[in-house]
Amino acid sequence: MNWTRSMIGISLGLVLFAGTGLAAEPADVERFVKARIDIGEMMTNYFKGGERFKEGQRPSPEQMKEMGADINAKLAQLLEKHNLTVEEYRQRSKEVFADEAAVKKFLSEHPDLKQRYEALPLDRMGRGGSGRGY
């Protein structure tokens, strides 16, 4: 009986500890939300107007490679402002944005950021099946 109680207690402790470990820190939520806003605005401006190519024309593989390198360089520079690397952002953003309550709380406390966040094309920023999930 004592052994069973101990195992149940340990199991519950692990479950509770794991649940609190998944909650995003408020400072992380702030950094990642601001970074996502900046990334979304940068990408929107980067592709605005589609003047890079003629209408209906797809970029060549070489042009795609150049664009990818350019975007990654700009992304690295932008994330540096938030003390993040591209790799860290890509690894941790899903975890941070999975805590929707923390994200919503942060945005409700910052209406200016909330307006910018809601204006983003989030279907291409990690919430849909397309895009790289920035």
Residue 9: per-residue pLDDT: 54
Rounded CA-CA distance 36/31 in Å is 9
- Convert 23-39 into a string of H (helix), E (strand) and C (coil): CCCHHHHHHHHHHHHHH
pLDDT recorded at residue 54: 59
- pLDDT value at residue 27: 92
pLDDT digits (tens, 9 = 90+) for 45-84: 887 866 556 566 788 899 889 989 999 999 999 999 999 9
Nearest to 119 by CA among 47, 35, 40: 40
CA distance 68 to 63: 8
Residues 73, 101 contacting (CB under 8 angstroms): no
Burial class for 33, CB neighbours closer than 10 Å (0-12, 13-18, 19+): buried
Q: Provide the phi-psi class of 22: left if phi over 0, else alpha when psi is between -120 and 50, else beta.
A: alpha
Q: Give residue 17's pLDDT.
A: 47
pLDDT for 19 beyond 50? no
- pLDDT tens track for 93-122: 999 999 999 999 999 999 999 999 999 876
Tokens coding 44: 């929107």
